[in-house]
Structure 1
């Protein structure tokens, strides 16, 4: 089994869902894992260290200032003597401490000292889960490489309360642990990957904008594939209607200039994949009010300005350039010639070229036919789902990094 012989450090937070951690320990141990448990003071109000210790067959750790353990810096030792740290339940308070680097008890100190992968299973009231502060903390943790399982939707402990916030079931968490341990040894483990996705919207006035038909499906699929390969992924997304990929830090923007600012703020990175369909132009001076017809039958004159070239900005950085820079070329004619020119002009290492003529159905569709263009030549790929294109591209990137010793 994936977890047989693996060392799991279980951090039990203070919520009613703490009772599920007992079943989680049993499921892990029956699969051959070694489980050590750390309980927050609040967790001890819901279940006892005695019951947890009976299931782990080990001492349960609760006190940061325990003389017996801390004489050899026990919180550091606990953080390092594990293959994976699992926080279940992870309360809103525990997530906030993790996201902001607070360390005022044993559990939060261990999490701050951790150099091994971390998986959290959030559990809290739906209003707390949806609160903007929690959403910011979750986004920060995802960007830091923390993996999530759940929360699920359903009835809460409070009478009449229901919604998203229930801790994932023990077997769901076991499956997530197996995936996380697999990712920890994935081909992009330890690498940071920056990805752009979706369209940009360039405002004309408060109700109109210049845009394109990009759905963001390909960029989001690449972000998900990179995360599954073990990378720490930051996804800068234009306005899309598809869900965020799991385990990925997402920064949402509207315009090309906002996207550039977000990309520059997210650097440095080992790999940059610029998959967004950025609008080439914007209105030079957008109107603060809705532009009205004037009765002349003539459209208003719109003066356009060129947007910044995000791919060229990243690809030609004098300092801090990612080891690999990947761009996309969405063309309706002269596909390979245009892709080769883009490769040279923008300082990219690879260009993923695809024909987006209307008859292909690529824009907004679920399949893609691409050609991978590099200085070594052109590699033709068959028509694949966008998820399969993403997996194949991530494999190419991982192999290139390995070959270069990065």
Structure 2
């Protein structure tokens, strides 16, 4: 038989503990439903309910949060506690799961989001996000999320995007890794800063994005616009974008940028490599640069896929210069300037001018963006005193990665070459 002096206090203790738990659960339910909207103005919660097994959970239903230019909603958010944490006056959330959410204007339907191993100060957690866009593009993100005053920092970021249809800048799959990516809101502007990243195989030292959503102030409506600056191997790419009635307009500017990594990321043939300064503009719609124009100045350049020095040495006496590059399917130039434009079908090389130690080049042409076949009309001239006035017409055609060529020697050039040969023979005989 239980001793009454033991039994009654035990019963009283159990009742007190149960009352304490119920009080805690009631306080938590009230706290999350009433105080969260105070912390996040614009947040609305339809309902909050507690569950007890297998662990204490708080389920928030039909959340809706609105910020300038943004709208976030979710069918349900579940916060999980440990039983032990309920003994404290401030029970700690250990895990948060979100289902059935959407983010506008990104057109993302969030399939699932999990914040796990949340620290006691709610500043650090492991983040896992899987989402799908309205176009059925899939997104998966993992990172160590760290909260700060007006935003969040994502450490050891891994982001993968799979395009269901269409391409983003000629890529169907996008992979981004970064040591750190931070996202913050500054008044009506959003800022994103990336450090030490890799976009597919394109290395990024840093990236800074400022985005201003649609804003109406003083009866004046401003269209969404952004600025993006990338640093890559010591070079800088700056993009200013603005939403217009005809689509998104981009102003492009590059300084000391290596061309090869950019062309490889765009899945374009690396026909010309080197370090480039450029400027231009483009229209951007549905992940595609639909049309635009660029003016480029390239130093330490190489025309890849064809040894033009070897070709011209068959007609002019520059064999010593050509011999240095005999084992390379490329033609070096000290300086190249080019003007190009494009639409969704064709990239037009409107003007090309190149200067090298042994060879100068000028010309124009086009590249098909469906099969990357090239058609270029070039004129080659030896960079030798007494020969620079002679120009050898060459037509390049076929796949840009390894084009074929045809030399067009007209009657005038043929006579010039014959006269040149006679003069050289006369000089040797004297």
Question: What is the TM-score with the length of structure 2 in the denominator?
Answer: 0.27
Question: What is the TM-score with the length of structure 1 in the denominator?
Answer: 0.28
- Higher helix residue share: 1
